[in-house]
């Protein structure tokens, strides 16, 4: 028997009502629940990822702080060592040990430079070289 309004048989109408009832139930109940589970799953994954990154950053910070502390101790030790080595008793000990007292220079260490006449001081008209007396010094310990 065909319906006058739709021009379909009653059997076709029943099938379409049953199919649409199933799709309505799926779209009204299952689909929102699946979307909610997907959102909760995504939120948990983001939280786990964030926690992992935060823990890694904390470990890196601890490593860097330890390295900074170690370098600061090393710098302090080097400053103390520098002060110790630059103290007068240490310097005096090295002078005595290696006989580093003041003495005259070796002849091959002395160089004389002639200054051209146009660059000489105005009061000196002659080209004579001025011979200064040699000075020597010694230190006794």
CA angle 40, 45, 47 (to 5 degrees): 95
With respect to residue 70, please indicate whether it lies within any of the assigned structural domains. yes
pLDDT in tens, 35-44: 999 999 999 9
38-69 residue pLDDT tens: 999 999 999 999 999 999 999 999 999 999 99
Instruction: Give the number of C-alpha atoms closer than 13 A to the C-alpha of residue 124, restricted to the C-beta side.
Output: 11
The tokens of 135 are what?
Answer: 């000075």
Residue 135 lies in a domain: no
For the chain, how many structural domains are there in total? Answer: 1
Does the residue 88 lie in any domain?
A: yes
Q: How confident is the model at residue 1 (pLDDT cuts 50, 70, 90)?
A: low
Domain hosting 47: range is 10-99
Classify residue 110: in a domain, yes or no. no
To the nearest 10°, report the CA torsion of 28, 30, 35, 40.
130
Whether 3 is covered by a domain: the verdict is: no
Query: pTM of this prediction?
Result: 0.45
* Residue pLDDT, tens place only, 66-118: 999 999 999 999 999 999 999 999 999 998 899 887 778 888 888 888 888 77
Say if 117 falls within a structural domain.
Answer: no
Instruction: Find, among 106, 109, 129, 127, the residue nearest to 117 by Cα.
Output: 127
Residue 84 belongs to a domain: yes
Structure confidence by residue, pLDDT tens digits, 110-132: 888 888 877 777 655 555 555 55
Cα distance between residue 66 and residue 74, in whole Å: 12
């Amino acid at each position: 028997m065909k319906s006058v309004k739709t021009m379909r048989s009653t059997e076709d109408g029943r099938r379409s009502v049953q199919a649409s009832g199933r799709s309505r139930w799926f779209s009204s109940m299952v689909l929102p629940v699946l979307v909610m589970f997907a959102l909760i799953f995504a939120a948990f994954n983001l939280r786990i990822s964030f926690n992992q990154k935060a823990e890694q950053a904390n470990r890196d910070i601890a490593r860097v702080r330890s390295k900074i502390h170690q370098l600061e101790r090393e710098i302090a030790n080097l400053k103390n060592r520098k002060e110790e080595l630059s103290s007068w008793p240490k310097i005096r000990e090295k002078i005595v040990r290696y006989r580093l007292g003041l003495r005259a220079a070796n002849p091959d260490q002395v160089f004389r430079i002639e200054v051209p006449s146009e660059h000489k001081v105005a009061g000196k008209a002659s080209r004579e070289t001025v011979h200064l007396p040699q000075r020597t010094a010694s230190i006794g310990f």
